[in-house]
Structure 1
Amino acid sequence: MTTHDERHAAHTGNAHGTPAHGAHAHSHQHAHDHDHADIDWSAMAPLLERQAETQSSLYADAAAWLGTLVPVSGVRRVLDVGSGPGVITGLLAEAFPAAETVAVDGSPELLAIARSRAEGRGLGSRVSTLHAELPAQFDALGEADVIWASESLHHIGDQRAALASFAGLLRPGGLLVLVEGGLPARRLPWNIGFGRPGLEARLDAAYADRFGAMRASLPDSKEEVDDWRGLLAGAGLVPSGTRSFLSDIPAPVPPVVREQIVAQFERSRSGLGEHLAADDRDTLDRLLDPSDPDSLHHRPDVFQLVAKTVHTARKG
């Protein structure tokens, strides 16, 4: 399972990994190419890493907030489920310095990168990796004091059963953290000077259709209302707070962020082409043409605004 936001990058163009899957990845546009078996995660890894890195302040703020919900010194084991290349794994390890932090993913290629990243940040002695396919291998994850699942739960067909499995892995007083929802990312103004205004809203609508089809195609898929507080309570946990965190990079964006945005729009063009009106395809072609002065490569008004919502619940 790769997950986080980027299987979302793979799928949307997002930032974590492969659901420890069968489960996921990653910004809530959902450009999901959801047959993970067909995704070259080695090729996707740089995109996933860059996306997570450009949003790292958001995740660092979220990890710091978790430290107000559980005693940091008492956290001994953290699971990052759907870790992808391990960017957020490292942030969790830094937020809980007494803990072993485990990157859990279904992609061996991404787990190798997660190990390398941890070693490069001096975290190699406290960060380990675990290859697991969910939901089949929940039992392989082991107990934990904190379980972080970023945009990976929705890649499991039966979300209620998955939450019950997560709850069963938590130690008494442990915390389950779901990153689900938020707002669609925005990177361009409503009117970009050519094409119909509101391009990104129409891309969101196309992604929403694909996301619904993805959910319906999952094994044991069950339709649920996205009442995360209610679902967490239904798993026998005590909801302990929900907050949204923002990544706000105003124009003009740094080159690394611009490159990431170009890559995300390229995936939108290739993944959604037949689902878009001809004029929107033409607009995307212009935005992706480096010889066009109004393209994403040159525009001074490109920005990045991302909001992620974090839901938490504690085991009594």
Structure 2
Amino acid sequence: MLGMSTTTGHGHGHTHDGINWAERLGHLQAIDALDRDTHADVAQRLAAGLPEGATVVDIGSGAGGMSSAFGRALAAAGGGTVVLVDAVPALLDAATAHVRAEAPAVEVVSVLADAADPALPELVPAGDLVWASGVVHHLPDQQRGVNTLARMVRPGGRLALREGGLATQCLPWDVGIGTPGLQGRLLAARESWFERMRADMPDVVRLPGGWGRALAAAGLGDVTSLGFLVDHPAPASAPARESVVNWLTFMADMAGEWLSEEDRATVARLIDPHDSAFVGNSDDVFVLSASTVHHGTRPVPPA
């Protein structure tokens, strides 16, 4: 029945990176609202050519921004099914509600499951398009994860991974307090966090090479990529400034131990709404990033 939502699987809310994503739901929703137009563009490009009544599977659906964009794209083409998969119940519930509100003409299926579960293809309906945004790099064995996702694609369908690109830039070189160049040091701290996050994962396996090679190794053909830009220039809108505050808060929580005491104090002032340096009131912050979507097609077996 169109618009109905079902939940299956055996999710447990665990994620492999140690991040409490349920606590970040509000931040994820704010990002989705800010990037709504970008999501729509990516969804339309990837959904072009899908069969009538197609099924799109969103692995690690988060707050549901891309799931909703896929739902709107399917609705515009006559309907279909959006399958949301996440290991965090609070995110899955919020994303399901979001898609149902945004695209009531499509069927919505929600599955509580871990993206690293090798049984995922048995828990989740097969998709004409399987989408995973910033998910696979959080899995201990990334190639195994790609292989599992490729098994979830119907013959002739596509697997699309949003991975890599250019990191978010949002601050002028000199923010007026602390030592100039804070943005670069924040990104370097994030890299240090990421290295340790992956090193500390049980049973972690390296993935040498790029994502296109991983898709090809999973048996997919016609492997290629597309890029898209998120650009909210200064003077930034209120939602963009809020996004900068959220980004800085997340960076401080995640990678603060790799920052100097001075930089930690600077960030604390930048995200304090009662401080004169609060970036939420700044007219010279911005949001600029670029992401890459790598995708390949599952071959159709010979007749």
> Are 1:221 and 2:201 counterparts?
no
The answer for the alignment partner of 1:55 in structure 2 is 35
Q: Which amino acid aligns with 1:187?
A: C
Equivalent residues of 2:252, 2:267 under 8 A apart:
yes
**1:130-157, CA deviations, whole angstroms, 9 ceiling, x for partnerless residues?**
1112322412123111100000011111
Aligned pairs for 1:151-162 (under 5 A) are 151-162=134-145
1: CA distance between counterparts of 2:278 and 2:250?
16
Identity of counterpart residues, as a percentage?
33
RMSD over equivalenced CA pairs, Å = 2.1
Distance of aligned partners of 1:160 and 1:188 in 2 relative to their CA distance in 1, 3 Å threshold: same
Equivalences for residues 170-249 of structure 1 within 5 A: 170-249=153-232
What secondary structure, in the 3-state scheme, does the structure 1 residue paired with 2:280 have?
coil
Q: Aligned pairs, how many?
A: 284
Kept after mapping to 2: 8 A contact 1:49/1:85: yes
- Tell me, what secondary structure is at the counterpart of 1:72? coil
- Give how far 1:128 is off: 2.0
Deviation at 1:311, TM superposition (A): 0.5
Q: Distance in 1 between matches of 2:147 and 2:257?
A: 39
Residue 249 of structure 2 corresponds to residue 262 of structure 1: no
Q: How much has 1:189 moved relative to structure 2? A: 1.3
Counterpart residue identity of residue 60, structure 1: A
For the structure 1 residues 54 and 204, does the alpha-carbon distance in structure 2 shift closer, same or farther, using more than 3 Å as the test? same
Deviations 1:104-124 (A, max 9, x none): 001111111122212322426
Alignment of 1:9-48 (within 5 A): 34-36=17-19, 39=20, 41=22, 43-48=23-28
The gaps in structure 2 that reach 5 residues or longer are: 1-10
Output one character per residue of 1:210-266: Cα deviation in whole Å (capped at 9) or x when no partner: 111111222331111241111111111014421110111111222122122212212
Amino acid at match of 2:113: A
Aligned to 1:30: none
User: 1:213/1:312 Cα in 2 relative to 1: closer, same or farther (>3 Å)?
Assistant: same
1:135 to 102, 106, 116: 116
Report the TM-score when normalising by structure 1: 0.83
Distance 1:82 1:168 in 2: 16
The letter of the residue matching 2:72 is E
2:281 is paired with a residue of what secondary structure?
Answer: coil
| Counterpart residue identity of residue 84, structure 1 | G
Structure with higher Rg: it is 2
How far did residue 23 of structure 1 move?
5.3
Contact 2:235 2:283 in 1 (8 A): yes
Q: Does 1:276 align with 2:259?
A: yes
- Give the letter for the 2:90 counterpart: E
Matches within 5 A, 1:84-95: 84-95=62-73
**Match of residue 9 from structure 1:** none
> In structure 2, which of residues 99, 107, 124 is the aligned counterpart of residue 118 of structure 1?
99
Q: Distance in 1 between matches of 2:33 and 2:12?
A: 20
In structure 1, give the amino acid aligned to 2:24: M
| Mapped partners of 1:222, 1:94: distance in 2 | 37
Is 1:148 matched up with 2:128? no
Q: Secondary structure at the match of 2:279?
A: coil
Amino acid at match of 2:196: A
**Equivalent pair of 1:186/1:304 in contact (CA under 8 Å):** yes
Q: Gaps spanning 5+ residues in structure 1: where?
A: 1-18, 25-33
- Distance of 1:251 and 1:162 partners within structure 2: 39
Q: For residue 225 of structure 1, give the secondary structure of its aligned residue in structure 2.
A: coil
